[in-house]
Amino acid sequence: MGVSGKPTITHLHNISLYVAGGIISIKAGFADELPLAGMLGRIGFFEHFEVTFDPSSEPPGFEIERIYKV
């Protein structure tokens, strides 16, 4: 089920993201029916990074900070 609330065909792929000075391997979902390009899902990324969005800046921005779990 996608963010639209309708069933969506999603293609899962293991990919490597280059972020915050390093590489992290995640499983990402891609769908042809999205209104714009983007990846789907949070598993494999947000447990390693804290992301803060700032919609008040022009252009809107964000910060990424690596989380090191012990």
Nearest Cα residue to 2 out of 27, 34, 44, 50: 34
Residue 50 lies in a domain: yes
pLDDT in tens, 15-38: 888 876 778 888 888 887 776 666
Question: Which tokens is 50 given?
Answer: 């804290």
Residue 2 lies in a domain: no
Residue 22 lies in a domain: yes
3-class secondary structure per residue, 33-52: CCCCCCCECCCCCCCCEEEE
Residue 45 lies in a domain: yes
Question: Range of 41's domain?
Answer: 11-66
More confident: 40 or 66: 66
Residue 44 lies in a domain: yes
Residue 38 lies in a domain: yes
Number of domain units in the chain: 1
Tell me the HSE value of 38 on the side-chain side, using a 13 A CA sphere.
9
Residue 46 lies in a domain: yes
CA distance 27 to 37: 17
pLDDT of residue 45: 79
